[in-house]
A and B are shown apart, each in its own frame.
Chain A
Amino acid sequence: MAVSLEELERRLSHLRTELREAVRARDKAETTRIRRALREAEAAWEHALESESESESESETGPDDEALLTEPPAPRASATADAPRRKERPTHGSIPIREQVHQALTLLGAPASPKLISSTYEAFFTESLVATKLASLRRDEERSFTAQGYARPYYICAALTHDRLVPARGLLALSTWPVERRIIGPLSPRADFLTHTVGTAEQIQRLTTAGHPAPDAAWRLLRRFALTIPGAYDAAAPEPDPARVITAAYAEATVHQQEDGQQRQAAAQRARTQLADVQQLFGAAPMRDALRDASGTLS
């Protein structure tokens, strides 16, 4: 939102004055026009208020994290105190977005794209998580880490490319994972995909054992995973069998394990020696041209 709240409020009061004059003058066309402008300005004001309250509550999560984690909705309600808006979007706002991402990533067990994070979260927690909202999350987290450093128990951070150790395109990870787990080598997208599959299947198993059948969306997600792994899917069965999916995923993962593991180890080693703390989490600065010709970097 480019326009500030104060500016919008000034504009609102100005429009109201105009409207009053137009009504007195019985100018119908003018009245309609002003009313429309007024409605637009009001919507913009609501929007600005919302984004402000969001960023406020996000920064609030900084110092007193422990308290927040136990009862996340409380400060949000007092901060906004905006009843109609909360009624409109009941799911949003109950759990901070970074918390949602944390839950989804923990479940998946490896760096994942915002899209996968959101579909996983929505599948298991039956609450919406808009993938586009994750776009700025990594940057916000980096800012918060640079400002306070390790003040939070975890940060949503980047996965690193194995050759240049810069943030991998469109992937989110958790700061609590070791660097190896966040390295993306040539085989890692596939290996991570298999890890995601195992994580999803295990969560379904856990839910089933606990007596809470997994939601349909979760089964759909598992099916989508299973279809692309050799031997994980039985065309005759209506639903994939989690145990079978896990076995198949492990079988393929062992094929890639050695080579992928070595690359991850080597890159992680380099990351630990070459990069500062913040860079280990959020990646080295984007490449400049001078760095390019060091061609030995690709293993």
Chain B
Amino acid sequence: MPSQQSEPPDARLARLRGPQPPQPYTARKITALTANPACARRAVLDAAGVDKALLAQHVGYEPRFGQSPFALAREKAFHGLVKWGGYAELIRLLREQLSVPVAEAHVTDLNEVGGNTALQVRERETRRLIAHVASGQDVRLILDRPVLTLEVAGQTAYLEPDALTHRIEGKFHVVLIRSFAAIDGQANPTAVAEAAKQAAVYVLALRRAFDAASLPTEQISHRFLLVCPKDFSNRPYGSLIDLRQELDALQFQLSRLRRAEDLTAGLPETATLDTTRSTDELSSSIEALDASYTPSCLSFCEMARYCRDEADGCASPARLGNGVRNDLPGIDSTRTALDYLDGVAAPGEAEAEAADLLRAAARLRRLRRGAA
């Protein structure tokens, strides 16, 4: 990625990263970033392609999460099963549940193009093939692992949806294959929401590709096909899930994201995120980037534990969750809030209302305790 871009901002990001190869920008990272758009730390780390797990380890916070090897193996096995025998199960699914005619069985494997697996090459081939299919020159039922691009925070992300299908109601549908079970047609809602967010990223990337090729974007469905194991068996089951809400949210968040280069411009010249450097250097550079910690970070960010300790240190209200943060508008520390309650400090004009509410809450609490 960096070889083709030689403008100063990218060079700055590359310099921050140091000699390590950059980590690719994935759909997972984009959804994490849009889940917490105020986090400059994550934006810069991802844009620079820093290995966050390694970085967290270097500054003394071994990330305790990560994908379980069992889950990964299961996911891989299920993928293999769905695509087994020339996508037989996927074709059956499309035929039985989405009434695709039998004559439609054209597939193209975009995992490699003529023996070449480079993302750029696959992306060009994907674009060419989509243009052919969209303009009706060619027919494809399934495109296996196409490559799409999306501009995120001034960086180009290469995205690989599990598959694309063109033959449901004559529209392009993104296909996601996930290994959590759908029991009686009901799957774990958190997992589905996660998948939907990722699918929204792919749909958006697909729209950009259509725009770039000046093709009509009406051909892209606002639903995606989620394929997961049916009940307690291993047979794939599929359902179309509406994405309009996720798409709107994602578009809004992406438009709000500040460009990573602007964020790095505020860093001191000596800043580095090179994981071979000393812990002190790294810590001071990380501190220079504003984080916006919320407890939900723990479930998707490798740096979360570092940020949590930092939030603990400055008694940030967000450390206790979004509810507490929203109850304390304008008050940036729980210590200040306590001072207001104890009458040690007087709240300013902007904080008066919040302080009044807090006092009322404290009084109620005392009353209740007295009654009990």
Query: Which residues of chain A have a CB within 8 Å of any CB of chain B?
Result: 115-116, 161, 164, 166-169, 186-187, 189-190, 192-193, 196, 224-225, 227-230, 252, 255-256, 286-287, 289, 291-292, 295, 298
Contacts and interface: CB of A to CB of B under 8 A. Distances in A.
B115 A189 contact: no
Nearest to B88: A228
Contact of A190 (B86, B124, B139): B86
B102 A186 contact: no
B82 to A, nearest CB: 11
B115 A186 contact: no
Interface residues of B, number: 32
A166 B114 contact: yes
B120 to A, nearest CB: 9
B116 interface: yes
A115 B81 CA distance: 11
A116 B88 CA distance: 13
B114 A228 contact: no
A255 B86 contact: no
A45 B244 CA distance: 61
Contacts of B138: 298
B105 A190 contact: yes
Contacts of A291: 114
Given A193-B85, A292-B121, A187 B105 contact: yes
Interface string B85-116: 11111011001000000110111110111111
A224 B82 CA distance: 12
A192 B114 CA distance: 20
Please name the 9 residue pairs, one residue from A and one from B, whose CB atoms are nearest each other, closest first.
A287-B114, A286-B115, A189-B86, A190-B105, A186-B106, A228-B88, A193-B86, A228-B92, A164-B114
Contacts of A230: 95, 102
B128 interface: yes
Contact of B112 (A169, A187, A292): A169
A224 B80 CA distance: 14
Given A186-B108, A289-B121, A255 B88 contact: no
Contacts of A189: 86-87, 105, 107
Contact of A252 (B84, B102, B113): B102
Given A115-B80, A186-B108, A187-B107, 9 more contacts: A169-B111, A189-B105, A190-B107, A193-B86, A193-B88, A225-B88, A252-B102, A287-B113, A287-B116
19 contacts: A115-B80, A164-B114, A167-B115, A168-B109, A169-B112, A186-B140, A189-B107, A190-B105, A192-B86, A193-B86, A196-B85, A227-B235, A230-B95, A287-B113, A287-B121, A291-B114, A292-B124, A298-B129, A298-B138
A90 B132 CA distance: 54
B99 to A, nearest CB: 12
B85 A225 contact: yes
Contacts of B80: 115
B100 to A, nearest CB: 11
A186 B106 CA distance: 5
Given A225-B85, A286-B114, A286-B115, A255 B107 contact: no
A200 to B, nearest CB: 11
Interface in B13-47: none
A168 B112 CA distance: 9
B107 A186 contact: yes
B85 A228 contact: yes
A138 to B, nearest CB: 13
B114 A255 contact: no
Contacts of A190: 86-88, 91, 105, 107
A167 B109 CA distance: 13
Nearest to B108: A186
Nearest to B129: A298
B85 to A, nearest CB: 5
B3 to A, nearest CB: 14
B114 to A, nearest CB: 3
A228 B89 contact: yes
A224 B139 CA distance: 27
A224 B129 CA distance: 31
Interface string B110-150: 01111110000100100011001000001110000000000
A299 B105 CA distance: 16
A25 B132 CA distance: 79
B109 to A, nearest CB: 6
Most interface-central of B88, B107, B111, B235 (chain A CB within 10 A) = B88
Contact of B116 (A115, A225, A286): A286
A161 B109 CA distance: 10
A33 B215 CA distance: 69
B114 A295 contact: no
Interface string B56-95: 0000000000000000000000001000111111011001
A255 B85 contact: no
B92 A227 contact: yes
Most interface-central of A164, A169, A187, A189 (chain B CB within 10 A) = A189
Interface in B135-182: 138-140
A228 B84 CA distance: 11
Nearest to A289: B121
A228 B108 contact: no
A60 B52 CA distance: 52
A255 B121 contact: no
